[in-house]
Chains A and B, each alone.
Chain A
Amino acid sequence: MQLTVWTYEGPPHVGAMRVATAMKDVHFVLHAPQGDTYADLLFTMIERRDHRPPVTYTTFQARDLGTDTALLLQDAIRDAYDRFQPQALLVGASCTAELIQDDPGGVAKALGLPVPVIPLELPSYQRKEGWGAAETFYALVRALADPAATPAPREGRRPRVNLLGATALGFRHRDDVVEVTRLLGLMGVDVAVTAPLGASSADLARLGEADANIVLYPETGDTAARWLEKTFRTPTIRTVPIGHGATVEFVHEVATVLGVDPAPALAAGSRLPWYSASVDSTYLTGKRVFVFGDATHAVAMARVAADEIGFEVVGLGAYNREGAREVRAAAAKYNVEPLITDDYLAVEAAIAAASPELVLGSQMERHIAKRLRIPCAVISAPVHVQDFPARYSPVMGFEGANVLFDTLVHPLTMGLEEHLLAMFRDDFEFHDGAAASHLGASTLPPAGGVEGGDRRGKASSPTPPPPAPPASGRGVAVAANDPAWTTEAEKELGKIPFFVRGKARRNTEKFAAERGLAAIDLDTLYEAKSHYAR
């Protein structure tokens, strides 16, 4: 058993729902108790979808367990087919139904429906949402792709590609697809099929007609792409065009694979290189950033942060083990310890320990950053209603690079404002609690909000409690044998901007402890500052 407070991913059947909901004429019958219907609200509330997900739940109850839940399943499948008339039917079981082993695939097949029935194996006690989405998409592709499909001769037509992996509830998938399609259009490349997002089962049948497959989201699209590669010998383009540099590489890869001219797409370019070069961006240099998300977005955002904006990556991690290898490789490049975990409290502890000036993460990290009073930008699923903005806001392609420049820079205190904050520390408007003016009124919750008592001295517990937020300045109880702060030094510490104060305190205490100092005075503070200077 695993003690879990918050979870980054839902169960695998939620991944299956993300695929079914993304598509046009597929219906999913899920053998599941009534409580599992909560999953509908993920789509209708978070993504503001105006239709119910195409999912029928059998909603069996305790009293059904004694009789025949398989019969209930059979009726649900038949009723769902009659009512919704899908062109393909997915059937699967959620965690509870998996235990009662009713064999949804077998039951559905026995009904002899006139459409393809695709049984899903979703091992809820081993796998999670991302895996469930990838597996469902793969199962659909395998079942529906016409094995006889083949690309038409290239003469006299534009090259055609499939865009794979975009789903419902994906982070900016809606706009990424538009942006990548536009970029390909500049090179004279057409998109044949985008799937699962917006695809019909007939679209999946003609996947084999494309000249290449582009995997936009490896987490959900790669399993299917590998099968297409093997089955149709279709080349696969795997560069994920997030950031200016990666988009340039993507354009070149497309050009090479399809034999088209990259120049028109490259000419479009993004504003990111100039924005980063312009002098106002000088203050971005070396800002310490912690990156966490799904592996693809985390690795891509770390590259943008480090290579394209000039930040220093002080932490990098992902919650999906499937992408661990890529994260490890990237972490080695930035000389940080890769954090591969889906333990929310471990992520919180790692962020607190790294004392970054900016967090790039999911909605989960946004909450952590809010508590630690660190600016944050959301760059990955799991998503929240705010991650479906009304405006066009891709993170892929050149427009995506523009969006990312803004996204990564706007949460920070702006250049001159940062100096003013430091100069007029005691000013009544520039006090610690006041956020930068462009961030609006500060409505920060009481620091921590942790209901436990002692937050220190328990580092050995399996899920370490979050350390005291660096912001509070007074919340850290000093153990008896630690060096004591003189009043003067403590006051001086208070003049240091709040977002680096925790780090300054820890560094100074470490510096003093290493030298066996009993007290920390002004000299110790500035000695330590010089010692740890970047």
Chain B
Amino acid sequence: MTAMLPVLRERGQREVFCGLTGIVWLHRKIQDAFFLVVGSRTCAHLLQSAAGVMIFAEPRFATAIIEERDLAGLADANAELDSVVDRLLARRPEIKLLFLVGSCPSEVIKLDLSRAAARLDARHPATRVLNYSGSGIETTFTQGEDACLAALVPQMGATDAASLLVVGALPDVVEDQFRRTFAELGIPTVFALPPRRAADLPPVGPNTRFLLAQPFLGDTAAALADRGAVHLPALFPFGVEGTTAWLRAAAAAFELDEAHFARVVAPGRERAARAIARHRDRLAGKRIFFFPDSQLEVPLARFLAAELGMVPVEVGTPYLHRAHLAHELAALPAGTQISEGQDVDRQLDRVKAARPDLAVCGLGLANPLERLGIATKWSIELVFTPVHGFDQAGDLAELFARPLARRDRLTVSPCS
């Protein structure tokens, strides 16, 4: 069905974060996990800059910065890493799960972090040590979360019991809302990946049915399928229709009565529709342009087009997972221009020519576009803010309405 939509494939300069960025939200989600990036000063600088310098007393992430002597072979990089981890765990004994996170430099020098993780896991019995790559030569922005969750899958216990697994790091408040809805629907066993604590890693098996809460979890989904779990394809849970379809996929898999389902979701649907309606006047007919960033672009464009009447001019995504996005692509307005990959200078030419009412982009591009008179929404906010489900649908719409509302309020303009 994607054949109906034009897809522009771009390969040039990208303007996106690497997968290390996911650490910023993952370390808040898994509360006894520590993320140790094995990389350069650039990696450390990225992590503290990406989220606008949120300095916690002592965060549960750090960087083991590779130095000249590690490269020159004067120091055995593995011995150095072991001693960094020894010091770290001596200092933070409450850490139950340690991720060694690969970076561009660690991959280029071929530092084998999976062997290091196995070695350190044996050496520190109280802490599980795993590894994944957040490197920018392998992963784009949210793909770091995919790599992290995929690394957890082999650690999940085996089970034959029927359960529903919700995959993707959701804010706790949203996760709890979904749990209440599933309980009301009558799905008894519901797990989340990632769990809030390392010890609560759910089991998985052939009777596990899983829903993806995020569109960027291709590797994790494949790893779960390898364990026998079955993916429930659906729209992603953004807006009234996305959330309904997503919940319905679970209800159908557990063979729940449709009338019962409709009864359970009706109040949420109504609340969401009411909250969204408040923003419809402001957004309807407005043209929106997505730069490729989080892979949330296609589902969000679908929500904004279908439920708020926005007109997607170009929907960029760093990577188009055609299977996971099949429902979403089918629900986009006919003729929507999709672009996959990026050549940022050419894309900027297109946005200048298209002059959309709103551009969704990364932090590096936002102010330059605002200066050109194009209102922007930072894509990173869509990853950090609770936006899934019925009770966040209004907030999600408001995120897009706010830049436009702001322009309506201001009587001063930098262009005048």
Which residues of A line the B interface, CB within 8 A?
1-7, 9-11, 13-14, 33-42, 44-45, 48-52, 56-62, 65, 76, 79, 83, 94-96, 99-100, 123-126, 128, 345, 363-364, 367, 371, 384, 448-453, 458, 461-463, 465-466
- Whether B16 lies near A34 (C-beta < 8 A) is yes
The CA-CA distance from A7 to B65 in the complex, in Å, is 11
* B17 partner, pick from A1, A35, A458, beta carbons under 8 A: A35
Q: Judge if B140 is at the interface, Cβ distance under 8 Å.
A: yes
Contact with A along B184-209 (1 / 0, CB 8 A): 00000000000000000000000000
Contact for A452 among B21, B44, B94, B364, CB less than 8 A: B94
Verify B65–A450 contact, CB threshold 8 A.
Answer: no
Which residues from B are CB-within-8-Å of A61?
A: 137-138
23 contacts across the A-B interface (CB closer than 8 A): A1-B80, A3-B65, A4-B44, A5-B58, A7-B41, A10-B49, A11-B40, A11-B41, A33-B137, A35-B136, A36-B42, A45-B366, A48-B367, A50-B370, A52-B365, A79-B345, A96-B108, A96-B137, A124-B40, A124-B42, A128-B41, A451-B92, A463-B91
Closest CB of chain A to B153's CB: distance in Å? 22
B73 an interface residue at 8 Å Cβ cutoff? no
- Given contact pairs A3-B88, A57-B15, A83-B345, enumerate 18 new A-B contacts (beta carbons under 8 Å): A1-B67, A1-B70, A2-B65, A11-B40, A14-B45, A34-B16, A34-B136, A41-B363, A44-B364, A45-B52, A45-B367, A52-B364, A62-B107, A95-B40, A99-B105, A384-B53, A458-B91, A463-B87
Which residues of chain A are within 8 angstroms of B364 by Cβ–Cβ distance?
A: 37-38, 40-41, 44-45, 52
- Whose C-beta in chain A lies nearest to the C-beta of B42? A11
Docked Cα-Cα span, A384 to B345, in Å, equals 28
**B16, A465: Cβ atoms closer than 8 Å:** no
Q: Which of B20, B92, B105 contacts A95 (CB 8 A)?
A: B105
Given A125-B40, A452-B91; A4-B55 close (CB under 8 Å): no
| Cβ of A222 to closest chain B Cβ, rounded Å | 22
A128 to B67: give the CA distance in the assembly, Å. 12
- For the side of the interface on B, what is the size category? 35 or more
Bound Cα distance from A38 to B65, whole angstroms: 18
Q: Does B302 contact A (CB under 8 A)?
A: no
B277 close to chain A: CB less than 8 A: no
Chain A residues near B371: list those with CB within 8 A. Answer: 50-51
- The complex places the Cα of A363 from the Cα of B84 at a distance, in Å, of 27
A125 B71 Cβ-Cβ under 8 A: yes
43-66 of chain B: CB within 8 A of chain A: 44-46, 48-50, 52-53, 55-60, 62-66
A34 to B81, CA, bound (A): 26
Q: Is A450 a contact partner of B57 (Cβ separation < 8 A)?
A: yes
Q: In the complex, what's the smallest C-beta–C-beta distance from A42 to chain B, in angstroms?
A: 6
Q: Is B104 an interface residue (CB 8 A)?
A: yes
Who on chain B is nearest to A383 by CB? B53
Say yes or no: A1 contacts B77, CB within 8 Å. yes
Partner of A59, one of B13, B48, B53: B13
A95 pairs with B42, CB closer than 8 A: yes
Top 10 nearest A-B pairs (CB, nearest first) are A35-B18, A35-B136, A40-B364, A50-B371, A96-B104, A95-B40, A41-B363, A449-B57, A33-B136, A10-B45
Closest residue of chain A to B137, judged by CB?
A62
Contact A76-B13, Cβ < 8 Å, known A35-B104, A125-B66: yes
